[in-house]
Amino acid sequence: MGDVLWLILASVIGGALGAWAYARVRLRRAARAFEGGRPTTFAGFVLGSRPYCRAAGGLLVVEGDALSHVVDRGMPGTRRDIPVSQLTVVRARPATRADDRDMPPGWTVLECRDGDEQVLIACDRREMRFVQHAFLRALDASPRD
């Protein structure tokens, strides 16, 4: 009986360490791609009533000052560009179940306004920096008055 418990404990710890290591590698790869100017893709939601929003799920793609959302990497036809330059960022906050029941715990939500409509951009808190950079780059690229 004791050997079985040790085996179960070792499996649980091994699985947790494997998941942690995979998350770190995935984040490092995304950071290298981002810093190299290549498209950076990660899980994310764009929720709201605007045409570029959709039901939960999919991937966010950051490329320079461009931010878009796709259902799946293999489905480029589902790509919807998010008009970063016309969004006003209200605040960043932790995600709650009230945002979307499918949103994973530990994600961050960037609350934005597009005119009078609310738009929520959500992703893992460690990947939100890529989204924020897209907003900052769009600001830098916008013409000055």
Query: Tokens in use for 117?
Result: 């409509």
Give the domain ranges of the chain: 1-36, 39-141
Q: Which CATH number is correct for 39-141, 3.30.70, 1.25.40, 2.30.29, 2.60.40? A: 2.30.29
Which helix (H) or strand (E) covers residue 43, if one does? strand 40-48
Q: What's the pLDDT at 14?
A: 63
Distance CA 128, CA 46 (A): 13
Residue 95 is given by DSSP the state -
Give the pTM.
0.74
pLDDT class for 72, splitting at 50, 70, 90?
confident
Q: Are 61 and 41 in contact (CB under 8 A)?
A: yes
pLDDT tens-digit map of 84-135: 989 999 999 999 888 888 888 889 999 999 999 999 999 998 899 889 888 8
Quickly state the pLDDT bin for 31 (edges 50, 70, 90).
low
